[in-house]
Amino acid sequence: MTMIRILHARLKAFAEDARGSLSVEAALILPLLCWFYVSAFVWFDAYRTQNANLKASYTLADMLSRETDPVTETYLKGLNKVYDYLTTTRHPTYLRVTVVKCTNNCDEESRTLQIDWSYATEGRPKHTNGTITGMKDKIPLMPQGDTVILLETFMAYEPLFNAGIPAKSFENYIVTRPRFAPQLLYAGAGS
């Protein structure tokens, strides 16, 4: 019995001893704290980048809607440079500008959309009448013969650390009407 009492007393003394516990706790918590800090930075950076991307997209759409002269290929490539500047990104970007017209049956079920012109920077594909039909849900209803400007921006995003956000592409679709002219015209090659 005395052996059990001695063992019990030693275990009790060991459980009550607090020497060195601060360094053990720090060694256990420090990696978790560092991981949380890095993850918070990555998530904040992703939201900040997406927010800057969206604001830049609206700015470019507003610029296009105010144009009264026909835009050129040089102008649209310059818009891509403005987009890069506004987003302060180091990742690849491109944009696609498309002028869409509702030709007949402009109600929700049977409307027909037609492309007047489309241009994409960085050698990306332009929209065709076939590809625009897949975007009917993104283009609002409009009167027959009316046109809208569809601006699509794309930005590749890769987080600095692996914190649960995969590498992805931020894409925005902005639809706006021309403000001061009935239609945005294109004076580029092949127009």
71, β-bridge pairs: 186
**Is the per-residue pLDDT at 21 higher than 80?**
no
**Per-residue pLDDT, 71:** 94
How many domains does the chain contain in total?
1
> 37 in a domain, yes or no?
no
**Per-residue pLDDT, 1:** 65
**Is the per-residue pLDDT at 105 higher than 80?**
no
Instruction: Pull the structure tokens for residue 78.
Output: 């310059």
**Per-residue pLDDT, 153:** 95
> 111 in a domain, yes or no?
yes
Structural domain of residue 110, as residue ranges? 42-176
The pTM of the full predicted model, rounded to 2 decimals, is 0.79
> 122 in a domain, yes or no?
yes
Backbone angles phi, psi at 89, to 5 degrees: -95, 155
Sign for the CA dihedral angle at 22, 28, 34, 37 comes to negative
Sign for the CA dihedral angle at 177, 169, 96, 50 comes to positive
> 191 in a domain, yes or no?
no
pLDDT tens-digit map of 31-90? 999 999 999 999 999 999 999 999 999 999 999 999 999 999 999 999 999 999 999 888
Q: Quick one: what percent of the chain has pLDDT higher than 70?
A: 95
> 134 in a domain, yes or no?
yes
> 47 in a domain, yes or no?
yes
